[in-house]
């Protein structure tokens, strides 16, 4: 249910966001009480001396360039410079030779090239003497030059994924070639980092595959090159690397001890992990889950990549049968080995909501919640182009750039069937509430989990939890002041209950993307542990229009204005802003719980619809023609008194 005051409200707390600052209207000066505590100096500024984040920044924490061996093998010919320029809003030329540009620049970027064999493929293409001196390397080089790139790429990737890559051609972390690639990565981040305008994080992707099960993590540095360049990334190949997450965490601890810097890890979305991303009994190497594992994971992995190009990972209809929005861009076939079938039993170890529920159960057992993460989105694009817009989507790899054929190319084949090109997902973005657009401020916000995921939209969302919020708090022109005063933001733990309060209250509000679709609804997703098993429930708490709950307690669909023939839609339904204060009607103070907000837009054309319209081709059978972009906030947790 929209509130008329919300345009001013959310603009006031979001001014300064790089993406939308030009569209925002500066609010009227606050009253004297707020001014006296917020302003010092001769020039008036309504934002001076705030001790909470007023800005939301949108970025991508998972982008690959030609330095990643798989990206290079599958045709990416764009390097670090192109990746940063594109993310900053500049026009670049794609691998296939066309001009490409974002509609709006990103605020931050993590180039997360794979740590294993980093830099190999550019050297192969350049005919590096070290590679040509090896018979296999020379053969690959000559076949590439003869136009057999796809054949060579498949051979290289197959050998690498099976741990059969020629040892003589492996770029070990202690080799000069590897160190050179990492040095280029660090220097590029330093070159393009511009505090206050654009943040370029140093980072990489640790690429663990356990029998084809994807356990990848993106490692993000708070530091600049003076610290980040001191140690090369951690890899998976022994003796210097490992596929076991706890070994990565040991490396991270060693980095911080040696350099005095800071790093964090973001777990890759788990829908190709075949149940290993959120274990309950044993680790990926067969070792039993123990107190050390849960403590280390909680310490080093504050974020989870809930949505990206290889499928959405919030939840699955098998896990959430009562959630009508659960079956969104679902990938549930096999893993990266493509031979191991997916079973229903594996799904619980793959999806974000179920992971959050499992964390409550493990906390009761070990005293620490290992899956206490904030949710973000990112692209995992292997094109050097961070595209998450439905109408400007450049695919997973360079062979999937816009073309009349790309929807029909198989992405991967498994024993259970194929993932087709049209099933790539134009997702997602990481949204971070921070005080400034700097490495330090953004990293600190990520660590405290004041973040949310979107599937590509730049809608603005805030969630606060406490015990004393009421409807009057939403009438405050700047509700963030009230939010931080009375409660905690997304990513936090509820404080002890206020005297006389029997249930927590949550203040949530959202503003649509300035050039995007209107909003359909806001939902609160609750998960809890009753001492024996976990549960979940989805609550519709705010919605557009005059819709009424049905007899089943659910709010009807918002409608759909998408014109498939012209790949267009209208904002004649939905609301530009939504918000409410909601009290949990089913609260039990003895049960641990989490709460997060899910915000849905009205339907708009999916990228497959845009492709069909632009190229004059048919939409493949089974491909959606529309999509409802959405956001998932970091949860707020409730812990019973001991």
Q: Is the pLDDT of residue 607 over 70?
A: yes
User: SS3 sequence, 450-485?
Assistant: CEEEECCCCCEEEEEEECCCCHHHHHCCCHHHHHHH
pLDDT of residue 49: 58
3-class DSSP string for 261-282: CCEEEEECCCCCCCCCCCCCCE
Q: Check pLDDT > 50 for residue 33.
A: no
> For 392-449, what is each residue's pLDDT tens digit?
999 999 989 999 999 998 887 777 778 899 999 999 999 999 999 999 999 999 999 9
Whose tokens are 């076949």? That residue is 143
For 582, the 3-state DSSP assignment is: strand
From the number of C-beta atoms within 10 Å of its C-beta (0-12, 13-18, 19+), residue 442 rates as buried
Average pLDDT over all residues of the chain: 90
Q: Confidence class of residue 47 from pLDDT cuts 50, 70 and 90?
A: low
The structure tokens listed for 501 are: 């309060």
Name the strand (E) or helix (H) holding 121: helix 120-126
341 against 246, higher pLDDT: 246
- At residue 476, the pLDDT reads 77
Please tell me the predicted confidence (pLDDT) of residue 341. 84
Question: What pLDDT, in 10s, does the model give residues 253-264?
Answer: 999 999 999 999
pLDDT of residue 34 exceeding 60: no
Band (pLDDT 50/70/90 cuts) for residue 40 is: very low
The Cα–Cα gap between 430 and 393 comes to 17
Instruction: Report the distance separating Cα 398 and Cα 72, nearest Å.
Output: 9
Q: What is the pLDDT of residue 496?
A: 87
The distance of Cα 70 from the centroid of its chain, to the nearest Å, equals 21
pLDDT category at 51 given cuts 50, 70, 90 is: confident
Q: Is the pLDDT of residue 542 over 60?
A: yes
Tens digit of each residue's pLDDT (9 = 90 or more) over 520-530 = 999 999 999 99
* Mean predicted confidence (pLDDT) in 358-365: 98
CA distance 342 to 214: 13
What is the C-alpha separation between 619 and 330, in angstroms, rounded? 18
Q: What is the pLDDT of residues 198-239, one digit of tens each?
A: 999 999 999 998 888 899 999 999 999 999 999 999 999 888
DSSP 8-state class, residue 518:
P
How large is the average pLDDT for residues 518-542? 98
What would the two tokens of residue 5 be? 């005051």
- Whether pLDDT at 358 is above 90: yes
Q: Of 345, 351, 483, 506, nearest to 10 (Cα)?
A: 483
Q: Nearest-CA neighbor of 451 among 633, 324, 227?
A: 633
Contact residues for 366 (Cβ-Cβ < 8 A; gap 6+): 290, 291, 294, 295
Q: Give the other-Cβ count within 10 Å of 530's Cβ.
A: 13
Q: CB of 243 within 8 A of CB of 237?
A: no
* Crossing angle between the packed helical segments 149-161 and 135-145, to the nearest 10 degrees: 140
Average pLDDT in the 169-177 region?
93
Residue 576: pLDDT above 70?
Answer: yes
Distance CA(386)–CA(27), nearest Å, equals 33
- What is the mean pLDDT of the segment spanning 96-121? 96
Would you put residue 75 in left (φ > 0), alpha (ψ -120 to 50) or beta? left
User: Could you tell me the sign of the dihedral formed by the alpha carbons of 629, 632, 633, 636, in that order?
Assistant: positive
pLDDT at 20: 30
% the chain with pLDDT above 70: 92
127: left (phi over 0), alpha (psi -120 to 50) or beta: left
Count of Cβ atoms closer than 10 Å to residue 386 Cβ = 25
User: Which one has a higher pLDDT value, 9 or 568?
Assistant: 568
Q: Is pLDDT larger for residue 6 or for residue 124?
A: 124
pLDDT at 37: 33
pLDDT band at residue 4 under the 50/70/90 scheme: very low
**Taking Cα atoms as reference points, which of 425, 399, 456 lies closest to residue 623?**
425
pLDDT band at residue 11 under the 50/70/90 scheme: very low
At 45 the pLDDT is: 46
Residues paired with 637 in a beta bridge: 493, 594
Cis-peptide, bond into residue 282, ω within 30° of zero:
no
State the DSSP H helix or E strand holding residue 2, giving kind and residue range, or none if neither.
none
pLDDT per residue over 469-501, tens digit each? 999 998 877 788 899 999 999 999 999 887 888
Of 266, 275, 299, give the one whose Cα is nearest residue 368.
Answer: 299
């Amino acid at each position: 249910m929209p509130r008329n005051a919300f345009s001013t409200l959310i603009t006031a707390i979001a001014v300064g966001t790089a993406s939308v600052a030009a569209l925002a209207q500066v609010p009227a000066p606050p009253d004297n009480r707020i001014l006296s505590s917020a302003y010092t100096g001769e020039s008036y500024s309504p934002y001076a001396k705030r001790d909470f984040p007023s800005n939301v920044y949108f970025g991508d924490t998972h982008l690959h360039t030609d330095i990643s061996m798989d990206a290079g093998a599958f045709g990416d010919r764009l390097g670090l410079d192109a990746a940063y320029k594109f993310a900053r809003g500049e026009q670049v030329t794609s691998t296939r030779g066309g001009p490409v540009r974002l509609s709006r620049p990103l605020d931050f970027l993590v180039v997360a090239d794979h740590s294993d064999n980093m830099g190999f493929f550019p050297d192969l293409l350049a005919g590096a003497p070290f590679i040509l001196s090896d018979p296999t390397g020379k053969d690959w080089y000559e076949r590439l030059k003869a136009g057999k790139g796809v054949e060579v790429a498949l051979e290289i990737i197959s050998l690498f994924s099976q741990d059969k890559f020629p040892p003589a051609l492996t770029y070990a972390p202690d080799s000069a070639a590897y160190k050179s690639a990492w040095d280029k990565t660090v220097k590029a981040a330093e070159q393009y980092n511009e505090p206050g305008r654009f943040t370029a994080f140093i980072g990489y992707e640790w690429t663990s595959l356990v029998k084809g099960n994807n356990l990848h993590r993106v490692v993000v540095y708070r530091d600049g090159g003076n610290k980040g360049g001191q140690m090369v990334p951690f890899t998976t190949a022994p003796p210097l690397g490992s596929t076991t997450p706890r070994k990565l965490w040991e490396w991270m601890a060693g980095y911080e001890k040696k350099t005095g810097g800071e790093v964090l890890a973001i777990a890759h979305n788990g829908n190709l992990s075949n149940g290993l991303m959120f274990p309950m009994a044993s680790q990926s190497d067969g070792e039993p889950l123990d107190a050390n594992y849960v403590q280390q994971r909680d310490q080093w992995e504050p974020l989870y990549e809930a949505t990206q190009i290889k499928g959405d990972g919030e939840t699955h209809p098998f896990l959430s049968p009562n959630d009508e929005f659960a079956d969104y861009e679902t990938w549930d076939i096999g893993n990266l080995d493509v031979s191991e079938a997916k079973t229903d039993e594996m799904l619980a170890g793959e999806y974000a909501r179920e992971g959050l529920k499992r964390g409550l159960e493990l906390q009761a057992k070990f005293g620490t919640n290992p899956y206490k993460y904030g949710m973000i989105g990112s692209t995992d694009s292997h094109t050097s182009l961070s595209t998450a817009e439905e109408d400007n989507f450049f695919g997973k790899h360079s062979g999937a750039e816009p073309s009349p054929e790309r929807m029909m190319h198989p992405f991967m084949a498994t024993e259970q069937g194929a993932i087709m090109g049209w099933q790539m997902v134009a997702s997602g973005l990481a949204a971070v509430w921070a005080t400034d657009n700097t490495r330090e401020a953004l990293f600190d916000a990520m660590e405290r989990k004041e973040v949310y995921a979107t599937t590509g939209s730049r809608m603005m969302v805030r969630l606060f939890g406490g015990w004393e919020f009421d409807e009057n708090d939403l009438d405050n022109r700047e509700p963030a002041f009230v939010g931080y005063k009375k409660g905690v933001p997304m990513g936090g733990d509820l404080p002890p209950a206020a005297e006389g309060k029997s249930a927590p209250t949550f203040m949530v509000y959202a503003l649509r993307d300035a050039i995007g679709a209107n909003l359909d609804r806001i939902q609160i997703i609750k998960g809890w542990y009753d001492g024996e098993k976990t549960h979940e429930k989805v609550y519709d708490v705010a919605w557009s229009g005059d819709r009424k709950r049905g007899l089943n307690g659910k709010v009807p669909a918002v409608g759909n204005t998408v014109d498939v023939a012209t790949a267009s839609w209208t904002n004649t339904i939905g609301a530009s802003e939504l918000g409410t204060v909601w009290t949990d009607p089913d609260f039990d103070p003895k049960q641990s719980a989490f709460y997060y907000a899910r915000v849905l837009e009205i339907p708009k054309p999916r990228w497959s619809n845009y492709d069909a319209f632009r190229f004059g081709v048919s939409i493949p059978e089974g491909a959606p023609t529309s999509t409802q972009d959405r956001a998932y906030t970091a949860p707020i947790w409730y812990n019973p008194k001991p």
